[in-house]
Chain A
Amino acid sequence: MTTVESRVTGAARRSVFDSPGYHRARTALLGGLSVIAVAVLVAWPMITDYYSYNASYYNGLVASAAISAILTISLNLSMGYGGMLSMMHSGLQLAGGYATGHLVVHLSGSWLLGIIASVVVGALVALLVLLVSLRAAYLYFGMITLAANLIVIEIGREWEPVTGGIVGISGIAPGSGGEVMSKEAFYYVVLACLALMYVLQRNLVRSGVGRASMAVRESADTASAMGIAPSGAKLLLFGICGGMAGLSGALYALQLGFINPDVGLLDNGIIFFVGLFLGGISTLVGPVIGVGFIAVLVELIKDQARYTTLVLGLLLLTAMMVIPQGIVGTWKASRFGRDRLPELTDEELPEEVPDVVPEVRDVPEGTAALEGTGIVKHFGGVHALDGVDIRIMPGTVHGIIGPNGSGKSTLVSCLTRYHRIDAGEVRIFGAGAPAAAHGVARAGVTRVFQVPHLFERVSVLDNVLTGMRMQEDYSWLGAVLRSPAYRRRDRKERAEARELLAFAGLAGRADWLASSLSHGQKRLLEVVRAVASRPKVLILDEPATGLTSEELDALGRLCRVLRERGLAVVLIEHNVDFVMGLCDELTVLESGKVIERGDPEKVRGSAAVLEAYLGRPDLVEEEAS
């Protein structure tokens, strides 16, 4: 059969860069290059020893670059994956360096203890700054971190007993007692730390912890709807970043033997920014490649060292214009480096409902799944909601309708605690609703927003996996170490997510970027993502807008399945046919008040509803006569 579609995909397949052979060769080549790179790094002291009279200089060069790479990985985690623009990373490095310097030189402690102290100090400083700025908006956060950076430097200059003032601390060596480790041995310590931090970054990003941070980065509201506490996710990630930066500070002090306030200056910090943007932000290997590139560059222009900042600044601006996604990002987007997507096949929608779809049973008779009584919400002088009562029973589809501006979406936001209510009470299965939006989601009430809130830059599968964050019970340490419990959970939820996608007819697109879906598929994916969080109550805010009739059928089917499973589904809709055909019960709002409630038949015949939508029918008749 040669349909138009298959001929098009056939033409695309003819490109060499999409052929399986090319992909195999590319994988082999990149793998080979990585092996060679690692081998060269490991054998570096031997190589320099053989070829150069100045081996320790070249060893130090690579070690310093590796230390910068650790800091850049930390910066990548916070900016690229967590969306937290930190301008205090050089300050965190300085703080870490002081911790090690003070412990090793002033207290003559072991250097290992120094490293631990640095990690702790780095994490604490980062947490403190984040706590202060949690309420601050995105722009302010950058400025606060900048101010914090200056404060760290000022402290370094003034607190002489610990930091040694302007001169700093010198004579920091990786030794304990009388024995001092050789520079060569320490080179391997640095290399091992870099490898560890790379693995930490990779495992963290690919786990639920990383997905939660990504969700918060994209939209704190959406993250809350999936039961992710935005502040908690931010604190965790930034704390880890702080620890990593502290580690790099410790290594810096031990490698160079000194630490002084100038280390924290932003002039030094710019190297990390350039490295990150040149290599590719939000990519795993980008920071390492970028820093390596800069290390080579700085070495090449070392005779003109005073121009370094100028050159780096110009390089940064140029890189932003020419390769905005960095080396790695540009490569991945090019046709040489892009991944092959599986061919789409026509899928049969499975008849069986997968077990992943939650079930709600054993609810005591007469308990409402979600209940609001006397809800009042004013925006300034506008009475958006004026004492609204609503009872949503489990195992029903409940429609909320009303003209534009009648307060439907506001009601949903109040029920799910996105808005603070001025008066009234919200109960979930008879218990008072938690005060925070993510708490409501954890109690089993999930919402899908009116405007699509997908995580566009990650895959369809990752979107669904993010929805499962609430069920993930492993800690971040478990994720980083890939504990057995983590592996089990990860395998299980990936299988479940694919099952759910197959049920919605999106299985073939699981590995696509979410942004490449059509509007209808996006809406469907959002519902799937919400279902993946195993809600007991699912609120859909105008899901049918812009859907084709087939997609409407799929949505209706999903709603019916959820109802059979005992969930309460709340629909806010304008599409009257869709609502009337699907809902068991309706609540009609008008100007912030409930004007009618009951089954579709009752609502259809209600005079108040007709009046709200069409004006007074009696007046209309009068005009007609």
Chain B
Amino acid sequence: MSPEAIIDGLFAGSVYALVALALTIVFQPTRIMNFAQGEAVILGAAVAYQIVALEKLGWAATLGITLVLAAFMGLLMERMIMLPVRLSGSRYAWIIATLAAALIFQSLFNLTYFDVDALRPSPVIDGGFQLAGVTVEWQEALAIVVALAVMAGYDLFLRRSAYGRAIRATAHNTDTSVLMGIPVQRIIVLSFVIGAMITAIAGMLAAPVIFVAPAAGLLFTIKGFTAAVIGGVGSPRGALAGGMLVGLLDTVVRSMVGGSVGNFAVFAALAVILVVFPSGLFGKPMEAH
């Protein structure tokens, strides 16, 4: 196992952690595990690929366009998912609706980039630096720093602001929150938008390094979910820890054994963790605090 594998793992982990955070954000007020969340990763990667690799417009434009498109995607997802869920009343509604949304976005990406294997733009910052004899690419360092910053920011937002308190209240009980005068519907829409934006940023940062195929959205969702479960759905800190664990496990096993054994390791870990700790590693499951 090389030290580079650990850096790679931390980098991949920060991407999964961001997806896990977004899953949590959407889950808290809606009680929906959004299968379409990973599609925003592809959106970020696709925009980066389109703007940087094809249009050669640079990263500032990419960031702006990504955020705008991701916000739009979040709005769209909220309608695509919450409307059928409310009208259907079936207990499976959420999973079918999110799955349908995921496949719709996936087929859109597939149709647009049918001749592209990997959405790979050039990195934001080329090259790398030496850290204690280990080469770290700037892109990787950037992704890790951004992930940490987003986590910390959201944690602060959740704990310190009035809006954050409202989100936490909604996570506990939607009906009571409505009685308390909290605009639950607005919070739900907002959570979809914020979730999509965070995930799209993850995709944008990941694309230059990780292999992001146009149809890989579901894979990111599942790894993000694994991270969220390991960390205990609900807390940004848990998402961070879980994401890093998943990333390290994936990359390290991959570098040691090779091939797609990394995926095995992650899913096997998910199974083992759920068998031994039915409520996740860190604390209560599905409870938001």
Instruction: Identify the A interface with B (CB < 8 A).
Output: 79, 83, 85, 87, 132-133, 135-137, 139-140, 142-144, 146-148, 150-151, 154, 157-158, 266-267, 270, 273, 277, 281, 306-307, 309-310, 312-314, 316-317, 320-321, 324
A157-B260, A324-B89 given; name 14 further pairs at CB < 8 Å: A85-B92, A135-B278, A136-B275, A148-B267, A154-B263, A267-B103, A267-B106, A277-B90, A306-B114, A309-B103, A309-B104, A310-B104, A320-B96, A321-B84
How many B residues are at the interface, by size bracket? 35 or more
- Which residues from chain A contact B114 at a C-beta distance below 8 Å? 306
B88 touches A320 (CB 8 A): yes
In contact, A314 and B83 (Cβ under 8 angstroms)? no
Interface residue? B75 (CB, 8 A): no
- Interface residues of A: mostly helix, strand, loop or mixed? helix
Does B209 count as interface, using CB distance less than 8 angstroms? no
> In the complex, are the beta carbons of B271 and A147 less than 8 A apart?
yes
A-B pair count, CB < 8 Å, reads 123
Q: Mark B259-280, 1 if CB is under 8 A from A, else 0.
A: 1100110011011001100100
Once bound together, how far apart are the Cα atoms of A278 and B114, in whole Å?
A: 29
List of B residues within 8 angstroms of A150 by Cβ = 219, 222, 263, 267
B239 to chain A minimum Cβ distance, whole angstroms, is 16
Instruction: Give the chain A neighbours of B90 by CB distance below 8 A.
Output: 277, 281, 320, 324
The answer to whether B92 and A281 touch across the interface, beta carbons within 8 angstroms, is yes
A324 close to B111 (CB less than 8 A):
no
Q: Closest residue to B280 on the A side, CB-wise? A: A140
CA distance A281 to B111 in the complex (A): 31
Q: Say whether A306 contacts B111, CB under 8 Å.
A: yes
Interchain CB contact under 8 A, A316 and B96: yes
Smallest Cβ distance from B139 to chain A, in angstroms?
27
A321 to B97, CA, bound (A): 10
What CA separation (Å) do A317 and B103 show in the bound complex?
11
Asked whether any CB of chain A lies closer than 8 Å to the CB of B95, the reply is yes
Most buried by B among A85, A150, A157: A150
Nearest CB of chain B from residue A94's CB, rounded to whole Å: 16
Residues of B within 8 A of A310 (CB): 104, 107-108, 111
Which residues of chain B have C-beta atoms less than 8 A from A312's C-beta? 103
Residues of the A chain whose Cβ atoms lie less than 8 Å from the Cβ of B106: 267, 309
Interchain CB contact under 8 A, B103 and A266: yes
CB-CB under 8 A from B271, the residues of chain A are: 132-133, 144, 147
Q: Which residues of B contact A83 (CB under 8 A)?
A: 91
Q: Report whether A154 and B264 are in contact in the complex, using a CB–CB cutoff of 8 Å.
A: yes
A158-B260 in contact (CB<8A): yes
Indicate whether B33 reaches chain A with its CB closer than 8 angstroms: yes
Bitwise, B142-156 to A at CB < 8 A (1) or not (0) is 000000000000000
A136 to B280, CA, bound (A): 10
Q: Give every chain B residue within 8 A of A148 (Cβ-Cβ).
A: 267
Smallest Cβ distance from A448 to chain B, in angstroms?
25
Chain A residues with CB under 8 Å of B91's CB are 83
B residues engaging A (CB < 8 A)? 33, 80, 83-84, 87-93, 95-97, 99-101, 103-104, 106-108, 110-111, 114, 218-219, 222, 225-226, 229, 259-260, 263-264, 267-268, 270-271, 274-275, 278, 285-286
Bound CA–CA A79/B267 (angstroms): 23
Q: List 19 A-B contacts (CB under 8 A).
A: A83-B91, A133-B271, A136-B278, A147-B226, A151-B264, A157-B260, A158-B259, A266-B218, A267-B107, A270-B99, A273-B96, A309-B110, A310-B108, A313-B107, A314-B104, A320-B84, A320-B96, A321-B84, A321-B88
Are A135's CB and B259's CB within 8 A? no
Which of chain B's residues have a CB closer than 8 A to the CB of A132?
271, 274-275
The answer to whether A277 and B87 have CB atoms under 8 Å apart is no
A143 engages B108 (CB within 8 Å): no
Q: A313 to B88, Cβ gap below 8 A?
A: no
Q: Which 10 A-B pairs have the closest CB atoms?
A: A320-B84, A313-B104, A309-B107, A324-B88, A147-B267, A310-B107, A316-B100, A320-B88, A313-B103, A321-B87
Closest to A274 in B: B100
Most buried by A among B104, B111, B278: B104
Q: How far is the CB of A260 from chain B (nearest CB, A)?
A: 16
B84: nearest chain-A partner, CB-CB: A320
A133 touching B222 by the CB < 8 A rule? Answer: no
- When distances are taken between beta carbons in the complex, the residues of chain A under 8 Å from B260 are 154, 157-158
With the chains together, A148 CA to B264 CA distance in Å? 10
Residues of chain A within 8 A of B264, CB atoms compared:
151, 154
Cα distance A154–B225 in the bound complex, in angstroms: 19
Complex contacts, B275 vs chain A, CB 8 Å: 132-133, 135-136
> Which chain A residue shows the least CB distance to B274?
A136
**A307/B263 in contact, CB under 8 A:** no
CA distance in complex: A135, B274 (Å)? 8
CA distance A79 to B93 in the complex (A): 12
A616–B192 alpha-carbon span in the complex (Å): 57
The residue on A at minimum CB distance from B260 is A154
The answer, among B80, B92, B274, for a CB contact under 8 Å with A140, is B274
Instruction: Report whether B99 and A273 are in contact in the complex, using a CB–CB cutoff of 8 Å.
Output: yes
Are A137 and B270 in contact (CB-based, < 8 A)?
no
Report the minimum CB–CB distance from A147 to chain B (whole Å). Answer: 4
Please give, as numbers and ranges, the residues of chain B lying within 8 Å of A307 by CB-CB distance. 107, 111
A317-B101 Cα distance, complex, nearest whole Å: 8
* B143 shortest CB reach to chain A, Å: 24
Closest A-chain residue to B105, C-beta based? A313
Taking a contact as CB atoms under 8 Å apart, the answer to whether B263 and A143 are in contact is: no
In the complex, chain B residues whose CB is within 8 Å of the CB of A147: 222, 226, 267, 270-271
Say yes or no: B286 contacts A137, CB within 8 Å. Answer: yes
CA distance A455 to B226 in the complex (A): 34
- Give the docked Cα–Cα distance between A273 and B90 (Å): 13
Residues of B close to A146: CB separation below 8 A: 218, 222
B286 touches A139 (CB 8 A): yes
State A366–B225 Cα separation when bound (angstroms).
58
Which residues of chain A are near B268, meaning CB under 8 Å?
151
- Docked complex Cα distance between A277 and B87 (Å): 14
Please, which residues of chain B bring their CB within 8 A of the CB of A320?
A: 84, 87-88, 90, 93, 96-97, 100
Q: Are B278 and A137 in contact (CB under 8 A)?
A: yes
Q: Which residues of A contact B80 (CB under 8 A)?
A: 317
Q: Given contacts A151-B267, A321-B83, is CB(A144)–CB(B107) below 8 Å?
A: no
Contact A143 B33 (CB under 8 A): yes
A321 contacts across to B, CB distance below 8 A: 83-84, 87-88
Cβ of A270: which chain B residues have Cβ within 8 Å of it?
99-100, 103
Among B100, B218, B271: residue with most chain A CB under 10 A:
B100
CA distance A307 to B225 in the complex (A): 28
Measured in the bound complex, the distance between the Cα atoms of B271 and A135 in whole Å is: 11
The answer for the CA separation of A144 and B93 in the assembled complex, in Å, is: 18
- Assembly CA distance A558 to B263 (angstroms): 60
Residue of A nearest to B103 (CB): A313
How far apart are the CA atoms of A137 and B278 in the complex, in Å?
7
Which residues of A have CB within 8 Å of B286?
137, 139
